[in-house]
């Protein structure tokens, strides 16, 4: 009997020890959790900081690419608009909105420009006509640009439409201003170089609304 009691006691004590051991083995996780709870905001902050740095780097990369493109565009612009060797003198009393205007070159030769419809409304298809007198011309183009505002690159190549006649289609871009001064520049490729005839005219939204 006594022996059995001792055995039982040993078993109970062993059982208790086992329970204690099991409890002590799970216990060490608690301080780690505490540490994790304490460190968690810092880890999160680090992650969001990394994300922010990543985004910042991407933004910088995009900004750099845009800057490179702008520099390339600025450098390429003179190639798109070569300087003419001679400019025609347009009739100062002629209004291109009312009808065709003629410009004369100092060395001889004339160029007449006609834009239709009359009034030259913006954002509407225009018929561009160029008439050449006493000039040998291999190609004709027309640039429609703003005189005091960059309205973008707007060049049209005109096609031969009979002897000394060239024709094409174009459009004035929409302008944010009520009044805008434009230059219709006829570009003539000749054996002596590029000749240009600049014709200036103004548009106003007030007038276009009336028409
Ligand atoms: Cu404008």
Phi/psi at 146 (5° precision): -85, 140
Please determine, for residue 93, whether its predicted confidence score (pLDDT) is greater than 80.
yes
Work out the average pLDDT over 185-206: 91
Q: Say what the pTM is.
A: 0.63
Q: What's the distance, Cα to Cα, between the start and end of the chain in Å?
A: 124
CA distance 12 to 54: 61
| Predicted local confidence at residue 30, as pLDDT | 62
- With contact defined as beta carbons under 8 Å apart, do 143 and 197 qualify? no
| Predicted local confidence at residue 147, as pLDDT | 93
What separation in Å is there between the alpha carbon of 58 and the centre of ligand 1?
Answer: 34
Domain boundaries, the chain: 2-80, 86-210
Joined together, the tokens standing for residue 2 give 């006594």
Q: Coil, strand or helix: which one is 69? A: helix
Work out the average pLDDT over 155-183: 93
Query: Which residues have C-beta within 8 Å of that of residue 148, sequence separation ≥ 6?
Result: 181
What separation in Å is there between the alpha carbon of 179 and the centre of ligand 1?
Answer: 8
What separation in Å is there between the alpha carbon of 31 and the centre of ligand 1?
Answer: 70
Pairwise pLDDT comparison (75 vs 81), residue with the higher score = 75
| Predicted local confidence at residue 22, as pLDDT | 46
Please determine, for residue 165, whether its predicted confidence score (pLDDT) is greater than 90.
yes
Query: Which residues have C-beta within 8 Å of that of residue 194, sequence separation ≥ 6?
Result: 82, 83, 84, 85, 187, 188
What separation in Å is there between the alpha carbon of 173 and the centre of ligand 1?
Answer: 8
What separation in Å is there between the alpha carbon of 68 and the centre of ligand 1?
Answer: 26
Q: Which of 27-41, 103-117, 134-148 has the lowest mean pLDDT?
A: 27-41
- With contact defined as beta carbons under 8 Å apart, do 184 and 96 qualify? yes
pLDDT tens digits for range 112-132: 999 999 999 988 999 999 999
Joined together, the tokens standing for residue 60 give 């910088």
Peptide bond into 117 cis (omega under 30): yes
Dmax of the chain from CA atoms?
A: 141
Work out the average pLDDT over 137-147: 95
CATH of domain 86-210: 2.20.130.20
| Predicted local confidence at residue 39, as pLDDT | 85
Residue with token string 């025609």? 88
CA distance 168 to 180: 23
Please determine, for residue 97, whether its predicted confidence score (pLDDT) is greater than 80.
yes
What separation in Å is there between the alpha carbon of 129 and the centre of ligand 1?
Answer: 23
What separation in Å is there between the alpha carbon of 54 and the centre of ligand 1?
Answer: 39
């Amino acid at each position: 009997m006594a022996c059995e009691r001792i055995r039982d006691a040993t078993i109970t004590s062993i059982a208790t020890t086992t329970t204690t051991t099991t409890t002590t083995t799970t216990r060490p996780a608690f301080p780690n959790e505490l540490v994790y709870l304490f460190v968690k905001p810092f880890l999160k902050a680090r992650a969001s900081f990394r994300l922010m740095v990543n985004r910042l780097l991407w933004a910088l990369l995009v900004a750099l690419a845009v800057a490179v493109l702008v520099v390339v565009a600025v450098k390429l612009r003179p190639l798109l608009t070569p300087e003419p060797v001679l400019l025609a003198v347009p009739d100062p009393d002629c209004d291109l909105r009312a009808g065709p205007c003629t410009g004369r070159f100092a060395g001889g030769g004339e160029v007449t420009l006609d834009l239709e419809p009359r009034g030259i409304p913006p954002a509407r298809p225009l018929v561009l006509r160029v008439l050449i007198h006493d000039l040998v011309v291999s190609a004709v183009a027309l640039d429609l640009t703003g005189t005091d505002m960059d309205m973008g690159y707007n060049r049209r190549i005109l096609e031969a439409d009979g002897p000394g006649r060239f024709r094409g289609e174009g459009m004035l871009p929409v302008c944010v201003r009520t009044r805008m001064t434009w230059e219709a520049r006829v570009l003539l490729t000749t054996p002596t170089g590029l000749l240009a005839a600049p014709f200036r005219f103004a548009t106003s939204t007030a007038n276009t609304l009336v028409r």
